[in-house]
Amino acid sequence: MADAVSDVVVVGGSIAGCSTATLLARQGVRVTVLEKAPGPEHHKVVCSHFLQPGASPVLRRLGLEEQFVAAGAAPNRTQGWSRYGWFSLHQEGEHGWNLRREKLDPMLRRLAAATPGVALQQGLTVDAVLRDDAGRPCGVGARRRDGERVEVRARVVVGADGRGSDVARLAGVPGRVLPNRRIGYMAYYENMALATAPDSVVWFRDPEVSYAFLNDEGVVVLAVFAAAERLPEFKADGEAAFLTSFDGLPNRPDIMSARRISPLIGRLDMPNVRRPAALPGLAFVGDAAQASDPLWGVGCGFALQTAEWLADALGPALAQGGDLDRALARYRRRHRSFLLGHHLMMSEYSSGRRFNGLEKLIFTAAPRHPPTAALVGEMAGRARPLHRVMTPPRVARTAAAAIRHRTAG
Ligand SMILES: Cc1cc2nc3c(=O)[nH]c(=O)nc-3n(C[C@H](O)[C@H](O)[C@H](O)COP(=O)(O)OP(=O)(O)OC[C@H]3O[C@@H](n4cnc5c(N)ncnc54)[C@H](O)[C@@H]3O)c2cc1C
């Protein structure tokens, strides 16, 4: 049995885990990251790579923007369409990025591994959360691929191990699960001309949502999030069902003359899960804390944002000898006050239902009332808590704009 001691042990070396480790170690904290995938190029496959504007300040702080540009990342300006018309989701100022995970994940891992104070170990699957005599988490146990067991003792255990977190299960911290009644299918294309280029596009067909996201090297990700009722159709002939999903959409790309460079990737089970982001001696970041409906492309951005919040709360307490549990409680409050509203809104819409009355007003107003388009753009940008974006005066102005349009028409 090999043993190690660290200030923090992070389980999962993907977006949330590597960002947390880098930002903590820069404050003088010793961090061990354990990642079960053995290869440095490991990356998540099922993702559509949209990084919302709310995450851009974290990327800048990590010092990755130049590498993003060098890797060909596409600024993710996006046009939205519904039957009420077109509108731009783009906000003046901050923009987000589209960069495929095959580039993003290794980039974050290299950054963490090169940061003094971070010990990144791959090929280790964590299968135990260790507790001290008082029952407080004090490290993790893991197994190497050759069967050797490893223990890492630490003052704080961080679960950054994604949707279906092993750390949460091992520590007995169940999540609150809200069902998602949509299924998702996606595929990658080269040489696909987008009429909205350089902007990406989201079609709110109501209730189905499809998109074409322009990524690095001109690769386009086409995706459809359909109500679960269409599952038999996809099971019978996935390719045909996927193509049909884009029929009749305005500015539909010419799919048949583009080159498909991936299989059709389907995801049928995407429940919305949320758990307390911190407890004494234990914290969760990224999907391990909150996995929201992928339709909205928020998980990577939230992984970066939550990593920053945890590092900012915990770093000073660890480096300067402050109260760890108060720091963890502060992180938990920030996580909740920022993300709960967004999560509940996305979870509720994942029922696969049609637009409700408020959404009809918003989508009616957005094409003809720039402040409403800005409201939708800010909501999708996730740079602020939802209650600060959807304020009663802004919603009232949106309703007035929609009603003006309807009465004029
Ligand atoms: C269809 C689909 C489309 C999506 N599109 C987008 C999008 O466009 N934009 C967006 O922002 N988000 C999107 N997401 C969500 C996004 O992929 C996740 O939110 C994001 O990957 C979360 O990052 P993370 O670091 O928290 O977890 P993950 O990326 O899931 O990483 C968890 C890591 O933990 C490791 N691990 C797990 N268990 C253990 C263990 N026991 N021991 C050691 N290591 C372990 C794993 O190997 C993995 O490397 C999409 C998701 C789906 C399903």
The full set of domains in the chain, from first to last, is 2-49+100-178+271-347 (3.50.50.60), 182-267 (3.30.9.100), 357-408 (no CATH)
Structure tokens at 196: 């909205």
Q: What is the pLDDT along the chain (409 residues), one digit of tens a residue?
A: 457 899 999 999 999 999 999 999 999 999 999 999 998 899 998 988 999 999 999 999 999 999 999 999 999 899 999 999 999 998 778 899 999 999 999 999 999 999 999 999 999 999 999 999 999 999 999 999 999 999 999 999 999 999 999 999 999 999 999 999 999 999 999 999 999 999 999 999 999 999 999 999 999 999 999 999 999 999 999 999 999 999 999 999 999 999 999 999 998 999 999 999 999 999 999 999 999 999 999 999 999 999 999 999 999 999 999 999 999 999 999 999 999 999 999 999 999 999 999 999 999 999 999 999 999 999 999 999 999 999 999 999 999 999 999 898 7
Q: 16: Cβ–Cβ under 8 A, 6 or more apart, which residues?
A: 160, 285, 286, 287, 288, 303, 304, 306, 307
Which three-class secondary structure state does DSSP give residue 160? coil
Q: Measure 267 CA to ligand 1 centroid, in angstroms.
A: 13
- The whole-angstrom separation of Cα 112 and Cα 105 is 11
> Do residues 329 and 313 make contact, with C-beta atoms less than 8 angstroms apart?
no
In short, whether 220's Cβ falls inside 6 Å of ligand 1 is no
In short, whether 160's Cβ falls inside 6 Å of ligand 1 is yes
Nearest residue by C-alpha to atom 2 in ligand 1: 47
- The whole-angstrom separation of Cα 217 and Cα 201 is 17
Q: Measure 163 CA to ligand 1 centroid, in angstroms.
A: 7
- The whole-angstrom separation of Cα 156 and Cα 176 is 23
Per-residue pLDDT at 26: 98
What residue spans of 126-259 are helical by DSSP H?
166-171, 231-236, 238-244
In short, whether 378's Cβ falls inside 6 Å of ligand 1 is no
Ligand 1 pocket mutation pick from 47, 275, 382 by most atoms within 8 angstroms of CB: 47
- Counting atoms of ligand 1 from 1, which one is nearest the CA of 286? 26
**Other beta carbons less than 10 A from residue 196's beta carbon:** 18
Single-letter amino acid code for the residue at 403: I
Nearest residue by C-alpha to atom 49 in ligand 1: 14
Q: Measure 287 CA to ligand 1 centroid, in angstroms.
A: 6
Ligand 1 pocket mutation pick from 10, 23, 32, 36 by most atoms within 8 angstroms of CB: 36
- Counting atoms of ligand 1 from 1, which one is nearest the CA of 37? 47
Per-residue pLDDT at 367: 96
In short, whether 170's Cβ falls inside 6 Å of ligand 1 is no
DSSP 386-404: HHHHS-HHHHHHHHHHHHH
Per-residue pLDDT at 111: 98
Q: In what order do the strands lie in the sheet with 176-178?
A: 176-178, 272-274, 290-291
In short, whether 47's Cβ falls inside 6 Å of ligand 1 is yes
- The whole-angstrom separation of Cα 224 and Cα 29 is 42
Q: Measure 290 CA to ligand 1 centroid, in angstroms.
A: 11
Q: Measure 358 CA to ligand 1 centroid, in angstroms.
A: 32
Per-residue pLDDT at 1: 45
Nearest residue by C-alpha to atom 11 in ligand 1: 300
Q: Measure 15 CA to ligand 1 centroid, in angstroms.
A: 7
Enter the ipTM: 0.99
- The whole-angstrom separation of Cα 275 and Cα 120 is 26
Which three-class secondary structure state does DSSP give residue 15? helix
- Counting atoms of ligand 1 from 1, which one is nearest the CA of 213? 8
Q: Which residues pair with 193 in a beta bridge?
A: none
Q: Measure 105 CA to ligand 1 centroid, in angstroms.
A: 10
Per-residue pLDDT at 2: 57
Structure tokens at 136: 């407080």
In short, whether 140's Cβ falls inside 6 Å of ligand 1 is no
In short, whether 252's Cβ falls inside 6 Å of ligand 1 is no
Ligand 1 pocket mutation pick from 107, 169, 287 by most atoms within 8 angstroms of CB: 287
